[in-house]
A and B are shown apart, each in its own frame.
Chain A
Amino acid sequence: MGKGIGTSHSHESAIGHVTGQAIYTDDQRRLAGMLHLWPVQAPHAHARIVRMDVAAAAAVAGVITTVTAADITGVNNIGSIVADEELLPIDRVSYWGQAVAWVVGETEEAARLGALQVEIEYEPLEPLLDLAEAIAQHSFHGGTQTVQRGDPITALAQAETRLRGEVTMGGQDHFYLETHASWVIPAPDGSYQVYAGTQHPTETQAAIAHILDIPRSHVVVTCLRMGGGFGGKETQANLMAAAAAIAAQKTGRPVRVRLNRQQDMTMTGKRHSFLAQYQVGFTHEGMITAVDVDLFADGGWSTDLSPLVVQAAVLRIDNAYYVPDFAVRGRVVKTHKVSNTAFRGFGSPQGVFVMEEIVERVAHTLGLPPDQVRERNFYRGSGETNTTPYGQEVRDNRIQRIWDELKTTANFEVRQGEVAQFNATHPHRKRGLSICPIKFGISFTSQTPNQAGALILIYLDGSIQLNHGGTEMGQGLHTKMLQVAARALGVKLSRFRIMPTSTDKVPNTSATAASSGSDLNGQAVKDACDGIKARLSPVAARMLDLYAPEELVFADDWVYCAGQPDCRVSFDAVVQEAYNRRVSLSATGYYRTPNIYFDKETGQGRPFYYFVYSAAVSEVEVDGFTGTFKLRRVDIVHDVGESLNPLVDRGQIEGAFTQGMGWLTMEELVWAADGRPLVTAPSTYKIPTISEIPEQFNVHLLTRASQDGTIYGSKAVGEPPLLLAFSVRQALRAAAIAFGETDWVPLASPATPEAILHAIESAKSAASVSVKSD
């Protein structure tokens, strides 16, 4: 029997978490002679550096040195896909808060005091901060990415009804509870041991090697665990790790850096805000016939991962809907803001935001229930109506099945009536109910990172070390990998020790991102276990006097004959015997996702290995005096395939939904006119607390959902449920509309109380004037 798979095993570090014994990067015991970094941050969004004088910093007691661009022995660049990101600026700062230098002190306080003394003379330049203005000025990173099917322009011209619109949505700070931290420990031989909170140890290793001009073999990057990542530690960790590496190289001493919350929020990238312009054509029945969209993402000052973020938006914008003639173009806009980066969903939420806005508007404009319009436009049948604009068939389409199941479990139709009833009798409070489907393609959209490695080491007492390329940031990856390994080797989970992710165990790994951690690493772990089993089987066969080792079963710490369970030897005995017979007890594992490709030039291909399906119903109640609301109830039916661990998967769904709800309703990034971020702490940046979570929050995992070709039939879960929070936004709009007699009101994102009250006021004042087409 598969021990562990499908059981709700608690997080492998849960006991460490609740007792305070789980160690994060900056919790490690401080090393003798360790130095500390403090950044000197630019007080301008865009400026020329006229003069920099670090002498006064050196005069501060306890300051050892200051690191500037001049100290970089290698290449001053940490750009992830385009070399346009100076680690330390030479003559120009490009966003408010950019680290211009790092002061190195015997204590953090000395470094901080030193940083106050660094004299920099700036010549302020005009910053470009507004997305629309930057678009008007043609300020872009790279070109346009397009996916197109058919001829939407002609189809729009022929459509029964047309609408045109523009929407913007704000970005989002990751607000992982653990801010960025890195430790770099130099060795006399010119090598470096690095501990970093990074979702991509291989890239952190590469960045340091590049900056220091040493071979990657001389840099080991280890990630113990992270106090949350959400994409915010995919490339962003490199900035701190590389700065600490320069200081370590320069001083020969171990160096630590940990950002405080203000530094973290001002120096590191966030979810991209987007501006979108759309046209939609549709029939009187609400069948969408044509969509044409331009997406603009605020990339900030450097490229970072932005083109891939836009690619994800372009590829996933269709969500669950078939549109015969469809064109979407995406571009990264360059502004003088912090460089925006990966964040759970990676552009997909922003893309789907636009599509959901379009569908909503079509429904409200026609006076049709939005759920009906949604359903009418689902991918369906076979052939063209079940094929995405980039030419991939929506295989194993579960949209309708989930939809029907959710409508039943959430009692949707009855509650629609109750909401209407409530609204008819309450002039000052209105309720809104919305159901929203999600289809989310799984894989890194570029082919290369869809690979993974693992390393398994068995010791003679039967204890086992498990290594794989994925990092643990709370998503339960390590827990799932232990379950996979225990199942694959047929041994107890307690035999395993999961090792911190380290580049000297598994090389050339991909980022733990794109929800793919379990899919990719799980297969690699299984491959490693299968490799070991293949070697142990003949050993066991001999011990059992068998001639056909393929008939052996590994289960419950025993190895036995398939048809004869009492013909068996213990796993421990097999391990010992293997050693005696000089059989290797370690193995690597490797996996690459088969059959995926995408041609960026034509915008066609099969970029996704499979799709995840889900849907949510949310009900809100809005106060007409203030625009504040209460989320009353949430129901979700979600497809995780055959769950590896229902406790972990449910946790991902609930957590992602909440994070999405925060993005869409309260998390607002605000800048001053000069580009200074005004929201730099939880006192001003509000993420949901427990009080915003509804009493009734029902999550059902879709049953009979096993997926072909994945690790034990499971599916990825990290990102898709974040998009379910659109049901909250739409319910809010429905409630706002119910205050008037209009068919449509714009609603800003995030839908703060102010934005909601504004929508209510427009609903009331627009009561008689209906929105015109075109």
Chain B
Amino acid sequence: MLETALTLTINGDRLSLDNISPTLTLLEYLRQSGRIGTKEGCADGDCGACTIVVVGEGADGGWQYQAMNSCLIPLGAMAGRQLITVEGVAQGGLHPVQAKMVELGGSQCGYCTPGFIMSMFASYYDGQRDDLAVEGNLCRCTGYLPIRRALQSLQPVDAEDPWQARLAQTDADGLPALDYQGQGQRFYRPTQLSQVLALMADHPEATLVAGATDLGLELTHRRQQYPVLISLEAVEELHGIQPAATEVTIGAAVPLSQIKATLHGVFPALDEMLHWFAARQVRNRATLGGNLGTASPIGDLPPVLLALDATVTLASTAGQRTVAIADFFTGYRQTLRQPDEVIVSITIPKTLAPGATRRLSQSYKVGKRGTDDISIVAATFTLDLDEHNTIVLARLAYGGVAATPVRAIAIETALIGQPWTAETVQAVKSPLHNAFTPLSDLRASAGYRRQLVANLFEKFFYESASLRSTS
């Protein structure tokens, strides 16, 4: 069924909006409509003050409360969804997460608190009671200790809990298709790939949007206008994760948090990178397709995909094609993707190189701050070894050191046939140091980046003894 009105449910109130721009951010809408409990700390996706909860599909297909940053969400993307804001959490009395925060001194100035409450609300129901629940929320006052105490002292969810019951009652329909127009802006949300391609043909000026964690910044910071947006969130072919014996195919529009949950343990290097990728609110929205679509040289997932020899499947009205990730990035923020193409899926092979008996693969990310920071350098290494500990295949992939995500191909070649020993690592350290000519910027100097290119590989060696190898 095609909806032409922007309907959504906020704190149980079903609203039907018209004559409102679909590219207004959800945060702007909430505050303009008097729901001022939700705060703006940055409009950048980085502080979590704007966190709200959306009822969304979990990795297991069931409904979940998911925390998201409302500052980055175009209102159109919320059509057909159920939202909870801080105003809706207390029903009768304080919610357990609110009561604990009050009791334990979890708020000082209180400006970050609504965002923390919403992150904690989501984690209360999905059982995440550790720091990860609120890693995407900044607090400048408390030093987080009382918030941690509040999280840790939460009891298991009560059997009578009304919110839990409500989740169970949520109907199972997926997101409806949408064709909405407001304030001269058009927002499409097709459900089939063929519809996406037809819309792109009809509207060459249209922009694709998935989780909008990159595009949202264009809206809030650069006030970029998008007369036509085509959302990929409801497109069937872009969803789903297909694990097969020899490879895994991931839909381009699957949120990263779903990938994290579904593929946990399959690719250690992907697990590790997803752990360091932004924070929960962003991972609940961001997609692999978007990470490739932006083609940022500091994107964190390209090194993982490069080191695992992934392939990318693209579709246009002319048909589908599959390209090697190694060929995908062609220049600064440029890729093989043609303007009329959609990234459909990414496939990661699980097979070792011929002759190899085990694989070591791990990711590293260095930022100024460990958590939720943009990489200074990100790296993923894959080594396939035979039973004599000889290197059969090597992949050293980096982000942040060149105009595109890159592999150190010369080093990889030099490593083939070598034993996996400290001497081998020492021998390539100096060439690795000079493998790229990174830039200096506000995050770090070129010199530090060069050091990291070499040191991370050495770190990989020393830690590989304790890494779980896959075979």
Residue ranges of A at the interface with B (Cβ–Cβ < 8 Å): 8, 10-11, 13-24, 27, 29, 112, 174-179, 225-230, 260-262, 428, 473-476, 623, 625-626, 628, 630, 647-648, 650-651, 654-659, 666, 668, 670, 678-679, 681-684, 686-693, 697, 752-754, 757-758
Contacts and interface: CB of A to CB of B under 8 A. Distances in A.
18 contacts: A10-B105, A11-B107, A18-B98, A20-B114, A21-B37, A228-B111, A626-B366, A647-B105, A650-B105, A651-B108, A651-B141, A651-B146, A654-B144, A659-B143, A666-B368, A682-B46, A693-B143, A753-B448
B401 to A, nearest CB: 14
A27 B36 contact: yes
B190 to A, nearest CB: 30
A630 B108 CA distance: 26
Interface stretch (B246-254, B412-420, B450-458): B450-458
A8 B459 contact: no
Contacts of B387: none
Nearest to A661: B143
B371 to A, nearest CB: 4
Contacts of A654: 142-146
B465 to A, nearest CB: 12
A500 to B, nearest CB: 14
A656 B144 CA distance: 11
Contact of A757 (B441, B443, B451): B451
Interface stretch (B84-92, B161-169, B200-208, B402-410): B84-92
Interface stretch (B132-140, B173-181, B283-291, B315-323): B132-140
B140 A228 contact: yes
Contacts of A14: 101-102, 105, 107, 110
B40 to A, nearest CB: 8
B138 A227 contact: no
Given A8-B105, A19-B90, A261-B44, A753 B366 contact: yes
A174 B140 CA distance: 9
B41 A261 contact: yes
Given A178-B39, A651-B146, A22 B452 contact: no
Contacts of A679: 442
Contact of B134 (A23, A179, A658, A690): A690
B421 interface: no
B110 A689 contact: no
**Which interface class (under 10, 10 to 19, 20 to 34, 35 or more) fits B?**
35 or more
B459 A10 contact: no
Which DSSP category, helix, strand, loop or mixed, fits chain B's interface?
loop
B42 interface: yes
Interface string B72-93: 0000000000000111011000
B372 A227 contact: no
A689 B145 contact: no
B242 to A, nearest CB: 33
Contacts of A648: 105
Contact of A10 (B42, B103, B144): B103
B43 interface: yes
Contacts of A8: 105
Contact of A175 (B137, B140, B373): B140
Given A17-B107, A20-B85, 4 more contacts: A474-B141, A476-B108, A651-B105, A690-B147
A760 to B, nearest CB: 10
Given A15-B102, A19-B98, A226-B109, A261 B43 contact: yes
A14 B146 CA distance: 13
A228 B141 contact: yes
A177 B372 CA distance: 17
Contact of B366 (A15, A473, A476, A628): A628
Interface string B42-70: 11111101000000000000000000000
Given A16-B110, A475-B108, A658-B144, A670 B369 contact: no
B44 A757 contact: no
Interface string B287-329: 0000000000000000000000000000000000000000000
Contacts of B451: 757
Contacts of B221: 262
B15 interface: no
Interface in B377-428: none
B383 to A, nearest CB: 17
Contact of A658 (B34, B85, B143): B143
Nearest to B455: A625
B459 A428 contact: yes
Contacts of A229: 109
4 closest Cβ contacts across the A-B interface? Answer: A20-B37, A474-B109, A227-B111, A17-B110
A625 B140 contact: no
B41 to A, nearest CB: 5
B445 interface: yes
B174 to A, nearest CB: 31
B5 to A, nearest CB: 24
A227 B110 contact: yes
Contact of A670 (B112, B371, B442): B442
B2 to A, nearest CB: 31
A628 B370 contact: yes
